[in-house]
Amino acid sequence: MSDTSDYMWENMRNYHGVMLGHFERKKMKWQDTSEIQALRRRYAQRSTSETERDKSKAAPKQRSVNIRATCFDYNKKACSEVGDHTLASGKKVFHICSYCARTEKVPRNHRETECRKKMGKEKMSKNE
């Protein structure tokens, strides 16, 4: 625990969100230590300066999301990649809900096909 201040809040939040998402989707178990460590190396990088460490102690801010950066295949349950990745075109895409990214500008670690907000809105529009 002595190195907790070495990590930025956003990096740790993203790492835990991705990791828990993998557990929920049964892509990973607690015993899969090598996969957990690979995710940690990918998402939880140490802060490189005092300024970054000071920023990480401040209240977390919601990051804005570019809808074009969501993985289309992930949202349709067709992506074979584990976690965020780069397409052959060189574009980096994220495994986040494209509906939440588009409507709320917030990254959420679920698929659009599983989005309760989208399902709730569709249900309400059918009742009208």
* Token pair 């409507």 in the structure block, residue: 103
Which segments within 5-117 are labelled E, that is strand? Answer: 85-86, 92-93
CA 51-53-55 angle, 5° bins: 70
**pLDDT above 60: residue 113:** yes
Question: Tens digit of pLDDT for each residue in 24-45?
Answer: 888 888 898 888 888 877 777 6
- Nearest 5°: phi and psi at 87? -75, 170
List the one residue out of 96, 100, 94, 95 whose CA is nearest residue 120: 100
pTM of the predicted structure, to 2 decimals: 0.47
Q: Evaluate if residue 66 carries a pLDDT over 70.
A: no
Q: What is the pLDDT of residues 68-106, one digit of tens each?
A: 689 999 999 999 988 889 988 888 999 999 888 888 888
Mean pLDDT of the chain: 78
